[in-house]
Amino acid sequence: MRTAAGFMALLAGLFLALPALAQTGDADRGEDVYLGRCVLCHGEEGDGLGPAAERLNPPPRDFTSGQYKIKTTAFNDVVPNDADFIRMIRDGMPGTAMPAWSDALSEQDIKDVVAYIKTFAELEEEKPTAQVDYGTRVESSPESIARGDKVFHDGDRCSECHGREGKGDAVKKLKDDNGDRTWPRNLTKPWTFRASNAPEDVFARISVGIPSTQMPSFADPKSKKKLSIEDRWHVANYVASLAKTEKVARPGNTVVTAARIDGALPDRPDDPAWERGRPSTFFLVPQIIAKERLFTPTNDTVTVRALYNEREIGIHLEWDDRTKSIPGDPAAEKIAEGTMGEDAVAIQFPVEMPAGMEKPYFLMGDAAKPVTLWRWSGGTTEKQESVTLFNARGIDEKEDRDIAKAGLTAKGDYKDGTWRVAMKRPLRTAETDMDLQFEEGRFIPIAFAIWDGSNAEQGTKHTLTTWYWLSLTPPAGQKPIVAAIAVTLLGGGLFFWWGWSAPRRRADAED
Ligand code: HEC
Ligand code: HEC
C-alpha cells in the first residue's frame, strides 16, 4: 500500500513538476547556452558589443537596455512575454544577422537562455502586467483592405515613413534610440519582417510600436494618430495585402526567359508592355571579395524581364531602393549615408557564347574569358542619366567602349521606392569580337550589379548576383538543352543558399 501510494505521489509530483520546470528557465544553465552561442554578437556583458557586432546592421540587441522589438505585452509595459522571447530566438529575425536557433537549441535551452538574458536588465523579477488587446478580429475582405488603405494614408499616418506604396522609401533619416540608422520596413516584402505580415502580427506591431525605434504605438491614448482596435485590424489587413509575390527570389528559377514579340520593343521603363516578359527575381549580395568591400547593403533583390524581336533585345530591371540618389540634390543629400554617388545598375554577359556550360569568373571576368558590361547610372543635378559600355578581363582590367557603335541605349525611371530601367541593344553588332552576338535557343550567362548611391556605394562597393541564364525562347519546335537546365538549378541553388542562410550559417559556425 505504502509503496503504491508513494509511487502515485511521486507520479503526481512529476506531473506537477514537469510543466513547472518547462515553464520557467534556469538562468544558470542559460548562462552556459549564452556563453556558447550568443556572446559572439551580443557580447559577454550582454551589451550587444560582441566581436562580430561591428559589421552588423542592425546591430545585435543590447540586453542591458531591456528593450525588445517584438512583443505582445501592452505598449506601456516594458517586459515582453516569455513567448515573445522564445519566438524570436527559435525563429530568428529575418533581415538581420539574428539566427533561428530551433535546430541547434532545445526548447528548454531556449527557456534557460531567456531567463539568463533577462538578468542583464534585472527583468527576472518583472512580470508583464498588461497584454495587447486584440478586441474582435476583423477578417480580411476587399472592404476592410480599402478602409485600411485610407487609415494608412490619412494624415500621412503610416505613409509618412513607409511611403505611399509601403516600400519604406525614406523621406527622412530615422535613428533608433542608440543613434544607429534604421529603415522603415518595405511592407511589400514581408519575408524581411522581424515577425511576419500575418494580420495578428501586424496588429500587435501597430499596437505596441517597435520599442527602441521610431515605429510608434497607435494604441497609446496620448498619440495624435491613435487608432481604434477596429481600424488597427483594417490597416493590418491592408499591410498583409501589400506583399509583392513576383519579388520573391525562388531558388528553382535561375533563367530569365526572353519573350519574342512582333513589332517594336517598348521604350519607356514604365511601359506595361514589359509585363509580357515573365519576371525572375534574384538575390543581391554585397561584394565582399575584392577591395573596397561592402558590408552593409541596402538593396536585396532585382526583378528581371526580357523581350526581343527579330532585330533587338530589351532587358527590364526593377528593384526597390528606398532612396533616389541624386548627387547635388539637397533633399537627397540629407537622407544619404556618407558621400552620395549615383544609383546605377549593370548587366554582365560573356563576350563570347560559351562552349558548353563554362562561364567567365563572375566578378568581371578573367584573362581567358572576358565579359562585357552595360551600365546605366541615374545622373546628378548637373548631368542626365547615362549609359556606358565596357569590356573587362578582371576587376582592374577595363576597356571603355563606344555605346553608339554597339547601339546600346537605356532609360530609367524612379517612382515610390522602385527603380525601373530598360536597356536595349541590337541582337547582332558590327564588333563581333567585342560584343556578345545573341542567338535564339541558347542559354546565355547573365549577371547583375546594383549601386545604391545614398548608401555610399561606388566603384567596387555594390551588390551583385552570381551568373544566371538568359534564354531567348525559340520558336516552337526547337527545344533548349535539358542538361543546361540541370546545371543551372545547381548553380542557382548555391547562391540562393548564400543569400538565405547567412544568419543560419553564423549559428552553424559556432557548432
Ligand atoms: C550572428 C549574430 C547573432 C547571434 C550569434 C545571436 N544574435 Fe540575437 N540578435 C542579433 C541581432 C543583429 C539582433 C537585432 C535584430 C534587430 O534589431 O532587428 C538580435 C536580437 C536578439 C533579440 C531581440 C529580440 C527582439 O524582439 O528585440 C534576442 C532576444 C536575441 N537576439 C537573443 C539571442 C540569443 C539567445 C542568442 C544565442 C542563442 C543570440 N541572440 C545569438 C544577432 C545575433
Ligand atoms: C515615424 C516612422 C513610422 C511610422 C509613422 C510608422 N512606422 Fe512602421 N516602422 C518604422 C520603422 C523605422 C520600422 C522598422 C523598425 C526596426 O528597425 O525594426 C517599422 C516597421 C514596421 C513593420 C515591420 C514589422 C516587422 O515584423 O518587422 C510594420 C508591419 C509596420 N512598421 C507597419 C506600420 C503601420 C501599419 C503604420 C501606420 C499605422 C506604421 N508602421 C507607421 C517606422 C514607422
Q: Does residue 509 register a pLDDT over 60?
A: no
Q: Does ligand 1 come within 6 angstroms of the Cβ of 204?
A: no
Q: Does ligand 1 come within 6 angstroms of the Cβ of 85?
A: yes
Q: Where in the chain is the domain with CATH 1.10.760.10?
A: 25-130, 142-240
Question: Which protein residues touch ligand 2 with a CB less than 6 Å away?
Answer: 58, 69, 157-158, 160-162, 174, 182, 184-185, 187, 193-195, 202, 205-206, 210, 213-216, 218, 235, 239
Ligand located closest to 191 CA = 2
For the stretch 99-108, pLDDT in tens is: 999 999 999 9
Residue nearest to atom 22 of ligand 2 (CA): 185
Nine cell digits for residue 5? 501510494
Q: Where in the chain is the domain with CATH 2.60.40.1190?
A: 247-507
Q: Does ligand 1 come within 6 angstroms of the Cβ of 406?
A: no
Q: What angle do CA 385, 390, 394 make, to 5 degrees?
A: 130
- The CATH topology of domain 247-507 is Immunoglobulin-like (2.60.40)
Q: What are phi and psi for residue 65, nearest 5 degrees?
A: -75, -20
Residue nearest to atom 40 of ligand 1 (CA): 38
28 confidence band (pLDDT: 50, 70, 90): very high
Separation of 183 CA from ligand 2 center, angstroms?
Answer: 9
Q: Does ligand 1 come within 6 angstroms of the Cβ of 115?
A: no
- The CATH topology of domain 25-130 is Cytochrome Bc1 Complex; Chain D, domain 2 (1.10.760)
Q: Does ligand 1 come within 6 angstroms of the Cβ of 30?
A: no
- Specify whether the CB–CB gap between 70 and 96 falls below 8 A: no
For the stretch 370-381, pLDDT in tens is: 999 999 999 999
Half-sphere exposure for 112 (CA within 13 Å, toward CB): 18
Q: Does ligand 1 come within 6 angstroms of the Cβ of 98?
A: yes
Give the bridge partners for 317, in sequence order.
304, 421
Residue of 41, 56, 182 with the most ligand 1 atoms within 8 Å of its CB, for mutation? 41
Residue of 65, 79, 98 with the most ligand 1 atoms within 8 Å of its CB, for mutation? 98
- Specify whether the CB–CB gap between 168 and 184 falls below 8 A: yes
Q: Does ligand 1 come within 6 angstroms of the Cβ of 456?
A: no
Nearest Cα to Cα of residue 434 among 460, 467, 408, 466: 408
473 confidence band (pLDDT: 50, 70, 90): confident
Q: Does ligand 1 come within 6 angstroms of the Cβ of 88?
A: yes
- Specify whether the CB–CB gap between 182 and 169 falls below 8 A: no
- Specify whether the CB–CB gap between 472 and 442 falls below 8 A: yes
Residue of 210, 214, 226 with the most ligand 2 atoms within 8 Å of its CB, for mutation? 210
Shortest-distance atom of ligand 2 to CA 193? 27
Separation of 186 CA from ligand 2 center, angstroms?
Answer: 9
Whole-angstrom distance, CA of residue 181 vs CA of residue 270 = 31
Shortest-distance atom of ligand 2 to CA 192? 27
Separation of 206 CA from ligand 2 center, angstroms?
Answer: 8
What mean pLDDT comes out for the span 75-85?
A: 94
Q: Does residue 496 register a pLDDT over 60?
A: no
For the stretch 131-182, pLDDT in tens is: 999 999 999 999 999 999 999 999 999 999 999 999 999 778 899 988 888 8
Give the bridge partners for 93, in sequence order.
none
- Specify whether the CB–CB gap between 66 and 123 falls below 8 A: yes
Q: How far is CA 379 from CA 178, 341, 354, 401, 404, in A?
A: 34, 9, 34, 19, 19
Of the chain, the percentage scoring pLDDT greater than 70 comes to 88
Domain boundaries 142-240, CATH class? mainly alpha
Q: How far is CA 380 from CA 115, 327, 418, 421, in A?
A: 53, 5, 18, 16
Res 252: pLDDT: 87
Q: Does ligand 1 come within 6 angstroms of the Cβ of 63?
A: no
Separation of 277 CA from ligand 1 center, angstroms?
Answer: 40
In DSSP notation, 196-219 reads --SHHHHHHHHHH--TTSS---SS
- Specify whether the CB–CB gap between 442 and 353 falls below 8 A: yes
Give the dihedral of Cα atoms 102, 106, 107, 110; nearest 10 deg. Answer: -80
For the stretch 232-255, pLDDT in tens is: 999 999 999 999 988 999 888 999
Task: Please tell me whether the overall predicted TM-score, pTM, comes out greater than 0.85 for this model.
Answer: yes
80 confidence band (pLDDT: 50, 70, 90): very high
Residue of 34, 61, 96, 296 with the most ligand 1 atoms within 8 Å of its CB, for mutation? 61
Res 434: pLDDT: 95
Separation of 501 CA from ligand 2 center, angstroms?
Answer: 25
